[in-house]
């Protein structure tokens, strides 16, 4: 069928350009949505496959400690699920990895306050998430996710840190701040930050964590845009996960009382929140415009100024690939609750 708009003399060149930009953004959004969908499904199926296989063979080989193979499964699953779909995404999209994922060196006098600011926000978010999770029953709901694992020997604890702190930080930052946000930055930093943050938040599938994961996703994306590098978010993400692992090990070690544990917990939270506030003012002093998004320094532009933020959001969230991912994550949330 011939598109009658091609012969509509009231249709200006800017209208054609805007329609072209929308089609291009829709194609990009479909690719990213399918990438996120593939990332999650790969993570899910590999985890299920290896865990099932391990449950079958472990009784036959009489493992003294079953935690060690499970840690290796977690490490392999996280790495494989992020990097293999990413390779296929770059292969089929034709995008350049170096142009999309920025790893620029960040000076220490900027990196250090950024890290403490990020950790301060992360600690506040984690505390708020815990409060919500601990009071879930008020709303007649129950969160069925449990992230605690057993680690007794030093080797197990090292594996625990690698499996839960290091590899997921690398994999998730590569996927969401690298591939997703890095691809969308050519449509504007504000749009890229919000869109990648939304997908990162709902991907967690835990209703008590989603709002706070979304906040952290926005923070990580903003920091990476300002520094033009995913290195800061990887470090903050790792340290945040590392803190959670250490606290879990400490709580399950039975070497301290619950009272002392919560004292340590509150002291650490307070210290990082204070350091985060101090870092905020340090960054403001160094650059009064640090917390404003004024440019896409270091990003190759395409002319997308004809599209408003509303146009971009509508095109992005109504694309097939993104809707597919959102439906999948929504189903995960419902399953975890029911």
* Three-class SS state of 103: strand
The percentage of residues in the chain with a pLDDT greater than 90, rounded to a whole number, is 54
Residue 297 has pLDDT above 50, yes or no: no
* Mean pLDDT, rounded, for 280-289: 92
Q: Where are the domains of the chain?
A: 25-337
Q: Which of 78-92, 240-254, 266-280, 312-326 is predicted least confidently? A: 240-254
* Mean pLDDT, rounded, for 129-152: 61
Between the two ends of the chain, the Cα-to-Cα distance in Å is 47
* DSSP state, residue 261: H
- Picking from 119, 145, 149, the residue whose alpha carbon sits closest to that of residue 252 is 149
Indicate the helix (H) or strand (E) that contains 194: helix 189-203
Residue 139 has pLDDT above 80, yes or no: no
Residues 336, 144: contact at Cβ < 8 Å? yes
Given pLDDT bands bounded at 50, 70 and 90, which one contains residue 59? Answer: low
- b/e map 86-98, b = 16+ CB within 10 Å: beebbeebebeee
- b/e map 26-63, b = 16+ CB within 10 Å: bebbbbbbbbbbbbbebbeebbeebeeebeeeeeeeee
Residues 203, 329: contact at Cβ < 8 Å? yes
Residue 238 has pLDDT above 50, yes or no: yes
What predicted TM-score, i.e. pTM, was given to this entire model? 0.87
Residue 279 exposure: Cα atoms within 13 Å on the Cβ side: 20
| Residue range 189-226, pLDDT digits in tens | 999 999 999 999 999 878 878 888 999 999 999 999 99
**Which residue's structure tokens are 């403490």?**
116
CB atoms under 10 Å from CB of 208, counted, come to 21
Q: Which residue has the higher pLDDT, 148 or 120?
A: 120
Q: Phi-psi category of 302—alpha, beta or left, where left has phi over 0 and alpha has psi -120 to 50? A: beta
Q: How far is CA 147 from the centre of its chain?
A: 17
Q: Which residues contact 120 (CB under 8 A, 6 or more apart)?
A: 272, 273, 274, 275, 276, 277, 279, 280
| Residue range 3-36, pLDDT digits in tens | 555 455 566 777 788 888 999 999 999 999 999 9
């Amino acid at each position: 069928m011939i598109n009658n708009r091609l012969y509509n003399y009231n249709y200006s060149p800017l209208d054609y350009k805007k329609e072209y930009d929308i089609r291009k953004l829709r194609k990009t959004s479909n690719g990213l949505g399918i990438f996120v969908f593939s990332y999650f499904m790969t993570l899910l199926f590999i985890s299920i496959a290896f865990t099932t296989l391990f449950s079958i063979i472990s009784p036959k080989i009489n493992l003294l400690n079953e935690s060690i193979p499970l840690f290796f499964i977690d490490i392999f699953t996280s790495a494989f699920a992020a990097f293999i779909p990413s390779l296929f995404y770059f292969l089929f999209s034709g995008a350049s990895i170096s142009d999309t994922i920025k790893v620029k060196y960040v000076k220490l006098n900027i990196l250090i306050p950024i890290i403490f600011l990020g950790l301060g926000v992360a600690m506040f978010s984690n505390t708020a998430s815990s409060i919500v999770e601990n009071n879930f029953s008020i709303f007649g709901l129950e969160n069925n996710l449990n992230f605690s694992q057993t680690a007794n020997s030093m080797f197990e604890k090292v594996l625990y840190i690698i499996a839960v702190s290091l590899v997921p930080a690398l994999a998730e930052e590569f996927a969401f701040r690298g591939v997703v946000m890095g691809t969308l930055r050519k449509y504007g930093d504000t749009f890229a930050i919000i869109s990648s943050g939304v997908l990162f938040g709902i991907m967690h599938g835990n209703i008590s964590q989603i709002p706070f994961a979304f906040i952290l996703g926005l923070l990580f994306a903003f920091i990476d845009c300002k520094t033009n590098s995913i290195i800061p978010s990887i470090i903050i993400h790792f340290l945040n996960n590392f803190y959670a692992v250490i606290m879990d090990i400490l709580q399950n070690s039975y070497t301290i009382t619950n009272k002392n544990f919560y004292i340590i917990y509150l002291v650490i939270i307070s210290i990082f929140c204070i350091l985060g506030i101090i870092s905020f003012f340090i960054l403001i002093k160094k650059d009064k415009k640090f917390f404003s998004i004024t440019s896409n320094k270091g990003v190759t532009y395409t002319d997308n100024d004809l599209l408003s933020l509303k146009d971009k959001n509508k095109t992005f969230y109504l694309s097939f690939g993104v809707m597919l991912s959102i439906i999948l994550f929504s189903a995960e949330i419902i399953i975890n609750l029911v």
